[in-house]
Amino acid sequence: MRQRKKERQTQLQETLKDDPFMTDEALAERFSVSIQTIRLDRMELAIPELRERIKDVAKQQLDDIKALSHDEVIGEIVDLQLDERAISILDIKTDHVFARSGIARGHHLFAQANSLAVAIINDELALTAKATIRFKRQVKAGERVIAKASVISLEKERTIVEVKSFVEQELVFTGEFVMFRTNQKGAVKR
């Protein structure tokens, strides 16, 4: 049974407050309405489109990064809690893939994960000392890679960061990054 417009719009606002990265397509499916209805609801409520919502969140997060400049980040950081967790989004475009196969070059996925592992460090200097990575499946042009980083441990001059990258909900890349930092932290955090 369809919801009334005001109820749907209230729930739409709450949904996007909880998850500002939902696409119009996903919202349309969730509320059992057309994509156009969702777009009209967003317009009435002055809710920007997905790309603008991502940019707004990313601008706030980039100010917290200490070890990288804004133009050194690969992908768009959409969540950042220093020395805890971070999330970035990378849309795979034709210039990221091999011309013949349309498969993303591995160094782009690695660069997204590595820059996220550097960005999560609450220090002016953070360098990758060691990385253990695994590619789980091929990524193609047009796919969106969401990388999620979490700090596994904080030691004296080392921090271990785990990064998992997904397309939709499918795991496509994992990495464990041992990061060197200049400031000293306490014992293992987690």
Neighbouring residues of 115: CB distance < 8 A, sequence distance ≥ 6: 68, 72, 73, 74, 75, 88
Phi, psi angle pair for 33, to nearest 5°: -135, 175
CA distance 61 to 81: 9
Distance CA 92, CA 145 (A): 7
CATH 1.10.10.10, domain 5-47, yes or no: yes
pLDDT digits (tens, 9 = 90+) for 68-126: 666 778 888 888 888 999 999 999 999 999 999 999 999 999 999 999 999 999 888 88
Dump pLDDT digits (tens) for 140-169.
999 999 999 999 998 878 999 999 999 998
With beta carbons less than 8 A apart as the criterion, state whether 124 and 138 touch: no
pLDDT in tens, 31-66: 999 999 999 999 999 998 887 777 666 555 555 666
pTM for this entry: 0.67
For domain 54-181, give the fold: Thiol Ester Dehydrase; Chain A (3.10.129)
Total residue length of the chain? 190
Specify the pLDDT at position 186: 41
DSSP letters along 2-66, please? Answer: PPPHHHHHHHHHHHHHH-TT--HHHHHHHHTS-HHHHHHHHHHHTPPPHHHHHHHHHHHHHTT--
Reported as a single tens digit per residue, the pLDDT across 118-131 is 999 988 888 999 99
Nearest-angstrom CA–CA distance, 107 and 73: 14
Helix (H) / strand (E) containing 175: strand 170-181
Work out the angle at residue 132's Cα, subtended by the Cα atoms of residues 131 and 136, and round it to the nearest 5 degrees.
130
Contact at 8 Å (CB) between 96 and 135?
A: no
Contact between residue 139 and residue 80 where contact means Cβ atoms under 8 Å apart: no
**pLDDT for 188:** 37
Taking a C-beta distance cutoff of 8 angstroms, is the pair 2, 32 a contact? yes
Residue-wise pLDDT for 6-28, tens only, equals 999 999 999 888 777 788 998 99
Domain range annotation of the chain: 5-47, 54-181
pLDDT at 131: 96
- Report yes or no: 67 and 125 within 8 Å, Cβ to Cβ: yes
> Sign of dihedral through CA atoms 64, 68, 71, 74?
negative
Query: According to the model, what pLDDT value does residue 49 have?
Result: 86
The reply to whether 54-181 shares the fold of 5-47 is: no
